[in-house]
Amino acid sequence: MIKPTKQQAANLGLIWLFIVILTSVAFLNGGVEYGISILKVTLGTGIVSSILFALPIPNRVKEVLLVSIPFVAAIGVSIVNDGIPRMFNAYILANIMMALYFRVKDTVIFGILTSIALLVIYLINPTGLLGDDIRLGEFVAYLGTYISSIIVLILLTYWGQQTLSKAEASQLESKGNHEKLSDTFSKIKVLSSDLEEKTGTGVTSIQQSLESSASISEAMNELTLSAHDASKQTIAISETMTQSTPVIKGAHDSIKEIEISFNATKEYVSSSDDTILHLDQQMAVITDAITNAYDTTSELGRRMNEIMEFLNGISAIAEQTSLLALNASIEAARAGEHGRGFAVVADEVRKLSDESSKFAGDIRLSVNSLDQSSKHAIESITKGQEAIRLGQSQMQILRDVFIKMSESFSVVDGKLISQYESLDHIFETFNSVESNLTSIAAILEENVATFENVNQQTHIQLNQSNEINRDIEGIKSINETLLELVNLS
């Protein structure tokens, strides 16, 4: 009997999960009738897939059918319902199911065939695939997204296949290493038995050597104690000088750091002075620009007054024309039948005069509004000029302050340099005294060099014996632990 794989079981679970989601969405969006129609198709698909999963057919055939049935069923549901764009999720799900088998070739073939199938179905029946509202550009976007998801799945399948291959190779290598390790444990067990016998003999010899070295060390300590008393005072003075030296050095370094900080601050103040000078120049440029704007706005006001005078003249001419047209109409009425044509002309002239008066009035309103705006602009520019002048005055005061600060920093920097040089001299003096004290202590120590040398050699031998003893004990302990591990393995 052919046993289904874990991937097939996972794909069957995905099919039923998608059936539940798709049917629930159908009931929520389309109502009961639409939901029942979708349920029939999806439930049939799930039953067919479950039967296929249980059948004793070759796994490769079963895997392809389990992936193809949901894809074909989704296309059928879309065509029956005159196009469902969200069915592209089902098409992508089919490719995800194929990718779960981690076979790159099958994933590529299935992706190409399904993409061609979707393209052919769209060319034959575009409404059945995406509905009436979807145009060619949107189909291209859907298809592009579908193909992109296929490419991503192909890459993931390829990388997953490589990972599985590496894991299998590592498993085989681990098996070989385990066999080698078993052989090594057998050899270690034999060597550990020999080592245990030899360490027992070595411990006995080392214990005897330790007892002799201890006696010699006690005798040499008594001889060297008296010799060291003479050099203690000199060493104490040297230590005092050594402790004082870092303090002087710290003060020396602190003064140097303060000098560096003052130099940096001085450079910053100088830079700020240049910035203020540049800002003052820019303020002058702004002042010139505002002055030009003021002159231009004033000239615009004068031009507005001239336009008002012209409009007044136009209005007067329009009134005269209207009176003339009225007189002409009166004279035409007196003339009777012979003056009828002249009356029509006079009436048109009067209308033209009225329209001219109206246009002149509208222009006058616009000019008055523009004149008011010009006056407000002149007031704003005047305030701006006052503010610029005040700003220039403050900038000059600020520049004077920065100049005085720069001068003060120069004075402080000179004093810091003087203090730094003094501390440097003191530091050199302390170093010289410390060096002389060290020389004196070395001369005193030479008098007891013989005792120290013998005592040192004795201590070295004693320490080495102790270390050897500890090492042997450690080796013995390690050997016992190693034997326990070998026995456990």
**For 149-162, how does the pLDDT look when each residue is reduced to its tens digit (9 = 90+)?**
999 989 988 898 88
pLDDT of residue 409: 66
- 460, 332: one domain: no
Task: Output the six-digit token pair for 168.
Answer: 């299998």
Q: Are residues 334 and 278 in the same domain?
A: yes
484 in any annotated domain: yes
Nearest by Cα to 71 from 53, 48, 51? 48
In a domain, 352, yes or no: yes
Residue 67 belongs to domain spanning: 6-134
Q: What is the pTM of this model?
A: 0.38
Task: Examine residue 338 and state whether it is found in any structural domain, yes or no.
Answer: yes
289, 239: one domain: yes
389 band by pLDDT with thresholds 50, 70 and 90: confident
Task: Identify whether 88 is part of a domain.
Answer: yes
Q: Which of 71, 105, 134 corresponds to the end of one domain?
A: 134
Using a pLDDT cut of 90, give the percent of the chain over it.
Answer: 5
- Using the predicted structure, report yes or no on whether residue 432 has a pLDDT greater than 60: yes
Same structural domain, 320 and 259 = yes
CATH number at residue 264: 1.10.287.950
Residue 429 falls inside a structural domain: yes
Phi/psi class of residue 83: alpha, beta or left (left: φ > 0; alpha: ψ in -120 to 50)?
A: left
What's the pLDDT tens digit per position in 249-269? 776 677 677 778 767 777 776
pLDDT of residue 112: 94
Asked whether residue 223 falls in the same domain as residue 246, the answer is no
Q: Does residue 102 surpass a pLDDT of 70?
A: yes
Which of 93, 77, 193, 156 is CA-nearest to residue 482?
Answer: 193
Could you tell me if residue 143 is inside a domain?
no
Claim to verify: residue 431 and residue 337 sit in the same structural domain: yes
Same domain membership, residue 45 and residue 129: yes
**Are 16 and 83 part of one and the same domain?**
yes
Rg of the Cα trace of the chain?
Answer: 53
Same domain, 350 and 437: yes
Domain assignment present for residue 142? The answer is: no
Same domain, 402 and 324: yes
Residue 128 corresponds to which amino acid? G
Burial of 364 (0-12, 13-18, 19+ CB in 10 A): middle
Instruction: Mark which of 78, 109, 134 sits at the end of a domain.
Output: 134
Number of domains in the chain: 3
Alpha carbons 146 and 88: distance in angstroms, whole number: 7
Write down the pLDDT at residue 448.
64
Which residue do the tokens 């003191």 mark?
Answer: 426
Task: Please tell me whether residues 390 and 260 are part of one structural domain.
Answer: yes
184-193: long-range contacts, CB 8 A cutoff, minimum separation 24: 185/486, 185/489, 186/486, 188/482, 188/486, 189/483, 189/486, 189/487, 192/479, 192/482, 192/483, 192/486, 193/483
Structure tokens at 75: 């296309």
Coil vs helix vs strand at 220? helix
Residue 156 lies in a domain: no
pLDDT at 67 over 80: yes
**Cα 37 off chain centre by:** 50
What gap in Å lies between CA 441 and CA 229, rounded to an integer? 12
Q: Which amino acid is at 336?
A: G
CA torsion, ordered 35, 65, 2, 17, to nearest 10 deg: -30
Whether the Cβ atoms of residue 48 and residue 68 lie closer than 8 Å to each other: no
Residue 56 or residue 407, greater confidence: 56
Handedness of CA 177, 179, 184, 189 (dihedral sign): positive
